[in-house]
Structure 1
Amino acid sequence: MTTSSSPRSRLKRSSGPGGSAAHFIGAYGLVALAALLVLVFSIALPHTFPTPDNLSATLSNHSIPAVLALGAMVPIVTGKFDLSIGFGLGLAHVMVMQLVVNEGWTWPLVCLAVILGGTVVGALNGVIVEFARIDSFIATLGTGSIMLAFTGWITNGGRIVPPPQGLPAAFTDIYGTKVFDLPLPAFYVLALAAALWLLLERLPLGRHMYVIGSNPRAADLVGIPTHRYSIYAFAGSGLIFGFAGVLLAAQQQIGNPSVGIDYLLPAFVGALLGSTAIKPGRPNALGTVVAVAVLAIGLTGIGQLGAQFWVVPLFNGGTLLIAVGLAGYSARRRLRTGIVADRGSTGTPPTAVPEGGNGTPGNAP
């Protein structure tokens, strides 16, 4: 006598302990890597790495890259890329210094104006991408170059130096203050990540943005205003790089027209690598924070081991390639899992959902 099993029972067997273990490793492998790096560097550098001072310095030095990585992540959710964030960061921090030092504005008003200005610039990026129908890579690279030109025009190619008495202490304290012996910027990162997690995972706006990133055509068919939500995503990116510019000005306390571009690559490394963690195959805020933590631990450790200056761009570039590869693999694995689940529940072949627009990993919720 022969026995047959239903598609649902086959699905249950395929998603047994082995499947659960694979999912756990995929979701939390990056967290485990962070813990492993801490252990390795603590053993190799017992007098410098596992110390409170090193923890504080690492959190302080990598808070702005973490904020910018979260900003880069938002358009990626909709299948777009904002290459202007590094240039926008440079322009924002120069504008803060210009308005405070040379124009005499009060620093709270300057912070508000720069953050709102970043939001407007981000929205303009979205309008150009959506209505001029220019690929997001090209459009934001072009607008970023324009921002770099404005930065050079404002500074005349030089630096903006504060007066001898320095910047207002209340302004510099927004970066230099410590809370529970930890730098205040680390708490900005956690608050921003929590806000983005709530927006993307729990509110309809975020869920619609994920649908747009996974399949824009399907989003149009079900009535989601794809153009509007994509503009929202770019506006969010602009708001975040405006905020990061304020923090950078408070940290450096000098206007440097060439500093912003240095943050572009680490931001995208963190955003793309983060899409392989916590919820593999889709960009997410918590995964981005974990990815930035891995990068921070790695860069701090190799720096204390005496690595040459060229190791940092090598590390960032290599990690970016690995991140893109892993993100693509996670997206394909997520798609295959969805197809198997659909077959198991309906017994009919599903309609495959293509990967995200502009070549990004699929990120359906």
Structure 2
Amino acid sequence: MATHTEPSPDRTRTPSGDGPRRGTGRLRGHLIGTYGLLALTALLFLAFTVALPGSFPTADNLTSLLSTNAIPAMLALGAMIPIVTGKFDLSIGYGLGLWHVLTMQLIVVGGWPWQFACLVTIAGGTLVGVLNGLLVELAKIDSFIATLGTGSVLYAVTLWITNGARIVPGPEGLPAWFTDLYTSTFLGLPVPAFYVLVLAFVLWLVLERLPLGRYLYVIGSNARAADLVGIPTRRYSIYAFAGSGFVVGVSGVLLAAQQQIGNPSGGQDYLLPAFVGALLGSTAIKPGRANALGTIVAVTILAVGLSGITLAGADFWVTPLFNGGTLLIAVGLAGLSARRRLRAGAAATRRSLSADGEPPAAPVATEPAPNDEPRHRVA
């Protein structure tokens, strides 16, 4: 008896040899999307090392990189938290200005113990974050508008506290323990670098390993679906803004310890680099979604690039040009990564349906049968 063997569905759909090539292409694309920005950082560092051997790869410059970029890195991580839920906190630059000025005001003018002044400042940053979350989730104000309005109010409070003037310590200066929060070293490295590492680890742990992080990602992906499966989207979104406010409060304390003066407009210059780092970071490590490790990589490439072009003798206007251009590129790449992620998910769903033997939904719904009768009858 002759036996007829039906060809497998995969062989009829895919020409011989095309499957492995397609799999290799997907793997290559995955590696480039995941580690491409990290590789670019290494190449950029190598290029500046070769071009500027006497100034760029020195210990002093590397120490300066770690110290001066700690606050931008922390702000980028803080800005990343609401971005995970699909929201934006534009008040972080104004908040940084207020909280570092308030810290100086309480210590220098009010004579408060520096420990208590720092705690009050951090608590204030957290409360403003909660306020932002309430405005967005309960008052239903768009996050751009709500946080921009909050930021303007924070800037007004900053000007009111300082009367538009800088707060300068007296001849006795600031408490040494307070300034050591930023100026001290640990294991031969600036201690602010360790603040960034600890914050990045905590956010990685929360977002990648705990249910809270998974809920935040689901809310950012599809808030309606999160509601349907029982996730309290409002509460977790407020948590995200509170986390951002907490990080901004801590950054304000560190900025006061670094600059040792209160500058009313000192925080606004940090807004753009923070969002560049957060958005560019969503194209690395976990392409298509904001993540802590990708944000660190993005801040590193920004720090290396700015340091290199500054040491090369670039004019003062190159820095805002670099930040603005990188922001545009970051937004474009973030959108591209998100679309690729959605397409990959849709393709995986189609492959799963095909493997189960179920026909695609669209042709069944629209294509008539040859005998002009419906393909499926309802009894």
**TM bucket normalised to smaller:** over 0.9
Matched, 1:88 2:82: no
Mapping of 1:100-115 within 5 angstroms?
Answer: 100-115=107-122
1:38–1:350 distance in 2 versus 1, CA, 3 Å: farther
3-state SS of 1:309 partner? coil
Contact 1:59 1:186 in 2 (8 A): yes
The 10-residue stretch of structure 1 (74-83 or 9-18) with the greater mean CA deviation from structure 2: 9-18
Mapping of 1:85-164 within 5 angstroms?
Answer: 85-164=92-171
Runs of 4+ aligned residues of structure 1 deviating over 6 Å after TM superposition are 9-12
Spell out, residue by residue over 1:188-213, the C-alpha distance to the aligned partner (whole angstroms, 9 max, x if none): 00100000000011111110000000
Matched, 1:175 2:179: no
Contact 1:273 1:326 in 2 (8 A): yes
Bigger RCO (CA 8 Å, 6+ sep): 1
Paired residue total: 351
Structure 1: which amino acid aligns with 2:38?
V
Matched, 1:50 2:51: no
Structure 1: which amino acid aligns with 2:50?
I
Matched, 1:193 2:194: no
Contact 1:91 1:148 in 2 (8 A): yes
- Residue ranges of structure 1 left out of the alignment (5+ in a row): 352-365
Mapping of 1:196-235 within 5 angstroms?
Answer: 196-235=203-242
Matched, 1:73 2:80: yes
1:123–1:18 distance in 2 versus 1, CA, 3 Å: same
Contact 1:176 1:183 in 2 (8 A): yes
Match of 1:316 among 317, 323, 327: 323
Greater gyration radius: 2
Structure 1: which amino acid aligns with 2:244?
S
Mapping of 1:249-264 within 5 angstroms?
Answer: 249-264=256-271
Match of 2:23 among 16, 28, 31: 16
Q: Tell me the percent identity.
A: 68
Spell out, residue by residue over 1:222-280, the C-alpha distance to the aligned partner (whole angstroms, 9 max, x if none): 01101101100000000000000000000000000001110000000000000000000
Matched, 1:59 2:63: no
3-state SS of 2:279 partner? helix
Spell out, residue by residue over 1:53-90, the C-alpha distance to the aligned partner (whole angstroms, 9 max, x if none): 11000111111000000000000000000000000000
TM-score, normalised relative to structure 1:
0.93
Match of 1:5 in 2: 9
1:350–1:145 distance in 2 versus 1, CA, 3 Å: farther
The 10-residue stretch of structure 1 (40-49 or 13-22) with the greater mean CA deviation from structure 2: 13-22
Deviation at 1:142, TM superposition (A): 0.3
Structure 2: which amino acid aligns with 1:125?
N
Contact 1:275 1:287 in 2 (8 A): yes
Deviation at 1:4, TM superposition (A): 4.1
TM-score, normalised relative to structure 2:
0.90
